[in-house]
Amino acid sequence: MGTRQTALRAAFRHSLPIMAGYGFLGFTYGVYMHTLGFSFLYPMLLAVTVYAGSVEFLLGNMLLGAFHPLQTFLMVLMVNARHLFYGLSLLDRYHGLGWKKFFLIFGLSDETFALTSSLRAPEGTDRGWFLLWLTWLNETYWVAGATLGGLAGGLLHIDLHGMEFVLTAMFTAIFADNWLRERSHAASLLGLASSILCLVAFGPGHFIVPSMILILLSLLALRKRMEKGGAA
């Protein structure tokens, strides 16, 4: 068996838990996009080119309204800023992999980071191909789930009214999970307070950008104090 095939088999075994999670969540995303009026091509192409689950859910609503470049930029930055730290921690792991590292960088997600930062290529398996296949498989699961969900959305003869609430539910779950894991709730409470303040000041239609700016500035100003207090 060739080097690539050996690495693919090893990567596939390690990616099976991701297949279950990405398949289901991607399917949900595809159905959600269908409820917004998009054909299956939209979730499929966004899954291929954007490949950032939380951002893709957000883009569904953004595509329905007027395009606001600053709001889009800040939203994506705030949601995916953690990837900057993922990349820094993987510099040594991806060193010397040649052209493969470009796809590894593009395909880096939370789950892929968890695997690539902790797993070692099995003995006799090429490290570069192992990491490449692992990253490729994870994205493939997401793209397949999103595509199938977009196709199935038109075949599901059930009332999907209210499906858009999945976006609120997703970010509520992310916030709750972060709340349970962090040692100090200072940053989370700061985010809540900033959002509520801007909601009152600017109204529900214009509070997102001001709240993100306020959160960013507040975190930068209080960073050292929060680090001393153990805020995560």
Whether the CB-CB separation of 30 and 145 falls below 8 Å is answered with: yes
Q: Tell whether 27 and 130 lie within a shared domain.
A: yes
| Domain assignment present for 45 | yes
Q: Tell whether 22 and 89 lie within a shared domain.
A: yes
| Domain assignment present for 28 | yes
For 61-87, the DSSP string reads: HHHHS---HHHHHHHHHHHHTHHHHHH
Residue 170: its pLDDT value, please?
59
| Number of structural domains the chain divides into | 2
Q: Tell whether 60 and 131 lie within a shared domain.
A: yes
- Residue 113 falls in which region: left (phi positive, over 0), alpha (psi -120 to 50) or beta: alpha
Tell me how far the alpha carbon of residue 227 is from its chain's centroid: 25
Residue 1: its pLDDT value, please?
58
pTM of the model: 0.75
Segment 169-214, tens digit of pLDDT = 756 776 787 788 778 888 888 888 988 998 899 888 778 778 878 8
- pLDDT above 70: percentage of residues in the chain: 90
| Domain assignment present for 162 | no
Whether the CB-CB separation of 23 and 152 falls below 8 Å is answered with: no
Give 51's pLDDT tier (boundaries 50, 70, 90): very high
| Domain assignment present for 127 | yes
Q: Tell whether 110 and 206 lie within a shared domain.
A: no
Give 130's pLDDT tier (boundaries 50, 70, 90): very high
Q: Tell whether 99 and 195 lie within a shared domain.
A: no
| Domain assignment present for 166 | no
